[in-house]
Amino acid sequence: MAVREITYREALKEAMREEMLRDETIFLIGEDIADPHGGSYKVTAGLSTEFGLDRVIQTPISEQGFIGTAVGAALMGRRPVAEILYIDFCTMAMDQIVNQAAKIRYMSGGQAKVPLVIRTQGGMGRSSAAQHAQSLEAWFVHTPGLLVAMPSTPYDAKGLLKTAIRLDDPVIFIEHKLLYNTKGPVPEEEYTIPFGVADVKREGRDCTVVATSRTVLMALEAAEALEREGISVEVVDPRTLFPLDVETIVGSVKKTSRLVVVHEAVERCGFGAEVVAQVAEKAYGYVDAPIVRVCAPSVPAPFARQMEDYVMVDAKKIADRVRQLVRGEI
């Protein structure tokens, strides 16, 4: 396979472009997504020029309205890919996401399907402060009827987005604002990544780190540092938070007998709690140390860089916790 290095941004754009060429019922909808603006994070740049403004529909600042529009169009057999600029703004559209998109199939007794993808991005690291830096994935994982993906690499971003667009269920597809410029190998040939299949990003013996989105990169950095100290870390990236590949996570913990769960969202009732519970239920007796979470404390994202750094997960915090765990200091 021919593999080149492209950015996370380019990988996402390729996924949408290829799918739009394949299926004319797919259309994009959102704020500022058309050219010349091309999306606030430039993910959709060029697509309106190529496909026209009927397939790349620019909307007013109107999240409830255009997500509702996407839901209705999905009910009509169209395949909308909506973009909510910041995951924080999902709050404006929560009725349409949670009460409508997630429920219509179920409450109609299976008469309908909602093939809708909502692309959005979250995460800290740019001094974006409390209303532009949240990680709200747990809200959506907690809502029956939604699928949730959080890719960490360009390869995963492309393969998962193509799958998301082809699925007939509503998908919340959460990107990370600091991943758009990261580069990685992406094959030129067509490929997709199934939902519910975790990726072991690095194999190891002493401790399993389950990490999501950008924290996967931090976990890999931590694993590399720890390797030099003789500690071997296995990094598991669930890639989709629902469906969740519990089997791979549990299998890894059974092998390493230690677990650290990492995410940028606040710890309280975060996605990590679900991972911990699954492991407690399914690998009880295999775990030789306390299960530890490395997450943000339960405060809003602060603005000042030093404060944001203080609350945000990083490679050092992950490495410190893993080291303590492996040395039996916790």
Question: Which residues lie near other proteins (CB under 8 A)?
Answer: 25, 27, 54, 59-60, 62, 64-78, 80, 95-96, 99-100, 104-113, 144-145, 147, 167-169, 194-196, 242-244
With respect to other proteins, which residue has the nearer C-beta, 77 or 230?
Answer: 77
Is 37 annotated as catalytic? no
Tell me which of 14, 19, 31, 63 is the catalytic residue. Answer: 63
CA dihedral 174, 180, 182, 184 (to 10 degrees): 70
Q: Which residue has the tokens 């058309």?
A: 34
With respect to other proteins, which residue has the nearer C-beta, 36 or 60?
Answer: 60
CB 20, min distance to other proteins, A: 13
CB 244, min distance to other proteins, A: 6
CB 67, min distance to other proteins, A: 7
Q: Are 272 and 262 within 8 A, CB to CB?
A: yes
With respect to other proteins, which residue has the nearer C-beta, 169 or 314?
Answer: 169
* Residue 204: burial class (beta carbons within 10 Å; 0-12, 13-18, 19+): buried
Tell me which of 31, 83, 132, 263 is the catalytic residue. Answer: 132
Q: Which of 291, 298, 296, 256 is nearest to 277 (CA)?
A: 291
> Distance between CA 195 and CA 167 in Å, rounded?
9
H/E element holding 122? strand 117-122
CB 16, min distance to other proteins, A: 17
SS3 74: helix
- What percent of the chain is helix, strand and coil (3-state, nearest 5)? 40, 20, 40
With respect to other proteins, which residue has the nearer C-beta, 104 or 312?
Answer: 104
With respect to other proteins, which residue has the nearer C-beta, 111 or 306?
Answer: 111
H/E element holding 75? helix 63-75
CB 77, min distance to other proteins, A: 7
DSSP structural state of residue 300? P
Please identify every residue annotated as catalytic.
Answer: 63, 132
